[in-house]
Amino acid sequence: MLVESDATAVTQVPQTQPALALPPRPRRPLSSWQLFRTFPDNAVAACDEELFEELLVERRFFWGRLFVVSDPDAIHRILVENVDNYIRIPPVRRAFTFTSGSGMNHLEGEEWWRHRRTINPALDYRALLPDLPELIRLSEDMAAHLAALPPGQEFPIGRTLTHLLTRTTGRVFAGEDRRIDTLLLRLGRFPENYSMLDVLPLPRSLYFIDRYRRARAGLGEYYALLDELFAERRSATYAGGKDLLWRMATARDRETGRELGAAELRDEVLTLAAGAQAPLRAMTWGWYLLAQFPAAEERLHAELDAVLGARSPTPEDFPRLVYLRRFIDETMRLYPPLPVMLRTAVADDKTCGRHIPKGSFIAIMPWVVHRHRKLWRDPERFDPDRFAPDRIAARSRYAYIPFGVGPRVCVAASLAMAEIQIAIAVLAQRLRFHLVPGQTIEPTAWSTLRPRHDIQMTVEPRRPDAVAAGC
Ligand code: HEM
């Protein structure tokens, strides 16, 4: 079952391409012991050849049964049709148990539904629209900063863009109020890397082994700040903007009419803040790919010049920047910011003719699904035109899942996409990025997919007129 059909696979990319950065790929499945060593260091380096060939792979380890699921029908079954049967694995839920254990990454069942129903509208694209001009301005500030670097000055792209993302997230969360920025910076590093202990099913008696207890305890210093920010927004005299915290503080569940309580709000902000750096991964890999593929860079520049010329983008421009969107989609296909989703089956189930016993582990891995040989034609090849409308229509919706799918789809997908589009459009309009030669770039997956070492780049101004005018 090749989901990308031959008939629609008109490829315009050159036949030879630079080799893309890849982790080691074992030829054969790893033993339990090898998995123990490899997974905590780099989860995607534990993915062996068979996973990219077979759509549903069952493995037995001493700690239980694992199904690695890439079949679009099985993904639909697990993440959509029978979603309540497949909960996040308890160790990951424990890692995200903030103040009272009432954040989306921890909750399951009716409580989780209630939180999602209440929070979804606060992160809806329409709710974010008023923030976009300021996000564009912040990217222009970053472009000006980079344009002012001495020629040839090397800089780490990830660390540099962290500043941009912290400012944009801070703006979306709390408007002009900068008190939240240190919290965002701190949570941007949570939960760092998982260890095997974080994914193994521990008996309850061993729950005291919780590597994140200390990291979470350190967040206590922010509780008072969060309570204050929410209290301000709930007070009758509040005269500030309708930022994300205001929208969350005033949101009501459309079914029950309930507001979120103080501890629930605190937990949800911490949960959102812990996910807020994910767009940084897409941006970093995006600049890596643009620097590697001059033809794609040229096409993007041509589109930006045709649609925007030297002026700043507005939110209305983004639907017309179609190549930009294809490029971002292809970047997240090859380098999905969240490469692994883990679940456990609450009760026996059946999918694609296979019995899934209660207690089994399920791994749905965008890293594998997006490079699967039965789902994609020439999967290791960089080709943004895979995301042309006819080619999207010719394959399963479940073959491309950077934001997940179903009710637990990323709650902030609209925000993430807007941040990535704005940053790449504004910076590419003004600057050309180059990779510093001689680097070894290895995709490394802990909770997110990042280069093992930050990628060193240089920039040169592209349109001196735009830099002068816009910044
Ligand atoms: C390119 C950027 C992003 C990608 C690729 C991404 C991807 C994902 C994926 C795949 C899931 C589902 C995980 C699962 O089902 O196990 C998810 C959930 C989630 N994401 Fe994102 N995410 C991104 C950005 C963000 C941002 C910016 C935030 C917060 C501001 C965020 C907050 C969350 C939260 C809270 C959940 C849990 C939702 C729930 O369980 O109901 N994400 N994300």
Asked whether 367 lines ligand 1 (CB < 6 A), one says no
The residues, any chain, with a CB within 8 Å of residue 16's CB and separated by 6 or more, are none
User: What residue numbers bound the domain in which 288 lies?
Assistant: 6-470
Q: Which long-range contacts (CB under 8 A, 24 or more apart) does 124-129 make?
A: 124/414, 125/414, 125/418, 127/247, 128/172, 128/414, 128/415, 128/418, 129/315
Asked whether 337 lines ligand 1 (CB < 6 A), one says yes
Nearest residue (by CA) to ligand 1, atom 23, is 278
User: Given pLDDT bands bounded at 50, 70 and 90, which one contains residue 8?
Assistant: very low
The CA distance from 441 to 286, in Å, is 14
Asked whether 416 lines ligand 1 (CB < 6 A), one says yes
Q: Which one of 125, 173, 198, 403 would you pick to mutate in the ligand 1 pocket, going by the greatest count of ligand atoms within 8 A of its CB? A: 403
**In a domain? residue 24:** yes
Asked whether 410 lines ligand 1 (CB < 6 A), one says yes
pLDDT digits 0-9 by tens, 182-223: 888 887 766 555 555 555 555 555 455 455 555 555 677 888
User: Given pLDDT bands bounded at 50, 70 and 90, which one contains residue 459?
Assistant: very high
**In a domain? residue 291:** yes
**In a domain? residue 1:** no
Please compute, for residue 180, the number of CA atoms within 13 A of its CA located in the half-sphere on the CB side: 27
Nearest residue (by CA) to ligand 1, atom 18, is 410
CATH number at residue 22: 1.10.630.10
The CA distance from 271 to 274, in Å, is 5
Cα 236 to middle of ligand 1, angstroms:
33
Asked whether 78 lines ligand 1 (CB < 6 A), one says no
Cα 413 to middle of ligand 1, angstroms:
7
Question: Is 88:105 a contact under the CB 8 Å cutoff?
Answer: yes
Per the structure, the count of domains in the chain is 1
The CA distance from 86 to 66, in Å, is 13
pLDDT digits 0-9 by tens, 62-75: 878 999 999 999 99
Enter the tokens of residue 191.
Answer: 């939960």
Asked whether 402 lines ligand 1 (CB < 6 A), one says yes
pLDDT digits 0-9 by tens, 80-118: 999 999 999 877 777 777 776 678 888 889 999 999 999
